[in-house]
Amino acid sequence: MKRLLPVLTRLVALCLTVAAGALAAPAPASAATPFAATLIEVTGFGYNPSNLRMYEYVPQNVGAHPAVLVANHYCGGSGPAMYSGSEFASLANQHGFIVVYPSVTRSSKCFDVSSPRALTHNGSSDPAGIVSMVRWEEQHRGVDPNRVYATGFSSGAMMTNVLLGDYPDVFKAGSALSGVPFSCFATTNGSEWNSDCSAGRITKTPQQWGNLVRAAYPGYAGPRPRMQVWHGTQDTTLSYVNFGEEIKQWTNVLGANQTPALTDHPKSTWTRTRYGGTGATAPVEAISVQGVGHSLPQSGMVPMALQFMGLI
């Protein structure tokens, strides 16, 4: 019996040690756990009539009620390509906002900015799916609904125009790089491409362009999102004419004078005009890039877009 006592003592001590360790084990991961700061796909995010895929990037320093930026890709692109080929994630790391990257699954890899179901509030195409992504972020990440923004290049710029036209109650500001006005690409024959718009053959009065936006959400009387547009003067894919037509449209929608309140040159080949105000939060801001084709953004453009929207 005496020989067994040391053994029993050691067993009791071991059991107590294990029990103490179990009591002190780390708690399961919770909402307070820092995010991995990597691109992840979100599934089951809600109404998704056109089978988009949703990717999100949440920086480790994200706050309790962060802003969210929807970054729309170009034709032939994808959410992951937009993530790896743009500055949005690195700027999110610095400033603590979330980035959502919608990804088209149809063969063209272009956003639907032309069908009647895309050009209406609560329609049944890509814009509705993207808004479901925003709602998911609000519900699951605590995103501030007053800090929702959109941007994009080419097809993504066109989608930015469409999102701000369809959902003025969701988006607070946007920046479209090499896009076209809301509804300029409209078709009724199922085609995704409108050659008249891309070639700059569709021009309208400011009132006509503004009416197209207002018709997307009849009866809406709330505030409208601020808009920034960029375009290269040598763009042969989406004619530079569309830059002027976007300015007409958004100044009309936002009730701003067609005459610039300020004109300056952030870089020697950039001409910036502001409408309805001279400050950084003017209702409409437009940047013409001399001698450049369909190759935006260039260095310095993304930070300037985020400054306009109020993200940095």
> Residue 14: what are its φ and ψ, rounded to 5°?
-65, -45
**Nearest to residue 144, comparing CAs of 98, 89, 206, 208?**
98
**Sign for the pseudo-dihedral over CA of 287, 291, 292, 294:** positive
- Edge-to-edge strand list for the sheet holding 270-275: 39-42, 53-57, 98-103, 68-72, 148-153, 173-177, 226-232, 284-289, 270-275, 262-264
CB of 125 closer than 8 Å to CB of 118: yes
Does 78 qualify as catalytic in the annotation?
no
Q: Cis bond leading into 297, ω under 30°? A: yes
- The HSE-up count of residue 130 (CA atoms within 13 Å, CB side) is 37
**Catalytic one among 86, 114, 132, 154?**
154
DSSP state, 275?
Answer: E
Residues forming the active site = 154
